[in-house]
Homo-oligomer: A and B are copies of this chain.
């Protein structure tokens, strides 16, 4: 409950510098607004990182000190370097939580974790969205009533090309007639993953108090709970074998040889 989880909020920081509508809503960048919402919980240690920083701000040491990574990307998914993607994936498999926001359904990291395309349908008409809690006892829904509304939102519709979620926390209703699985969880290696739909740069969604509450809840939920899972593929030699075993038959691998990867 009272763990000082360390959060890094990553933002691509592109629209907020180029598009006057977005700059007006998020003058310090979307990542800064998300970070401000998280900082309402004094227990959390929040920093930000952006695409434009060296190594996108996600150096080995930053990631080593991050319990949960919150990801905002939209226009510049393709500019995220593969080496950074790989480094982030490694940390997720070890146990770092990962929260993918809105258009990050098409980020390289999210697609790699899901193994699917992440496709969906969409419409930008500032319509009303209502998110219903499907899983009232889930820690990510803590303190949230049956549903909450976002008056102006971009629509995302089904089918959402994701693997069956481990849990669905929220499903959205849209004024224009669609529905969407808006809050979903998965686990990959030791890392807990949460996809949260709300958020569009043309509307002030990350100022919404319930959206901020969900993000704080999600960060606490996604923090590592157990030991690290180191990715290794060890050969178990006969002397480390639990039952008495006499090796038989031919061998492909020579003694001491490592396996193929």
Residues of chain A whose beta carbon lies under 8 Å from any beta carbon of chain B: 1-3, 15, 19, 21-22, 74-75, 77-78, 93, 95, 103, 106, 112-117, 119-127, 130, 132-139, 141-143, 146-147, 149, 152, 154-155, 157-161, 163-164, 166-168, 171-179, 181, 186-190, 200-203, 224-229, 231-238, 241-243, 245-253, 259-261
Asked if B248 and A127 make an inter-chain contact with CB atoms under 8 angstroms apart, the answer reads: yes
Asked if B124 and A251 make an inter-chain contact with CB atoms under 8 angstroms apart, the answer reads: yes
| Distance of A121 Cα from B138 Cα, bound (Å) | 19
| Nearest B residue to A224, CB-CB | B137
| Distance of A252 Cα from B248 Cα, bound (Å) | 39
CB distance from A221 to the nearest CB of B (A): 8
Asked if A251 and B121 make an inter-chain contact with CB atoms under 8 angstroms apart, the answer reads: no
| Distance of A46 Cα from B78 Cα, bound (Å) | 39
Which of B147, B201, B228, B242 contacts A130, CB < 8 Å? B242
The A contact surface, by secondary structure, is loop
CB distance from A17 to the nearest CB of B (A): 14
| Nearest B residue to A245, CB-CB | B176
Asked if B260 and A103 make an inter-chain contact with CB atoms under 8 angstroms apart, the answer reads: yes
Q: Given the interface contacts A117-B231, A137-B229, A176-B243, does A123 sit within 8 Å of B187 by beta carbon?
A: no
**Which residues does chain B contribute within 8 Å of A2, judged by CB atoms?**
1-2
| Distance of A114 Cα from B172 Cα, bound (Å) | 25
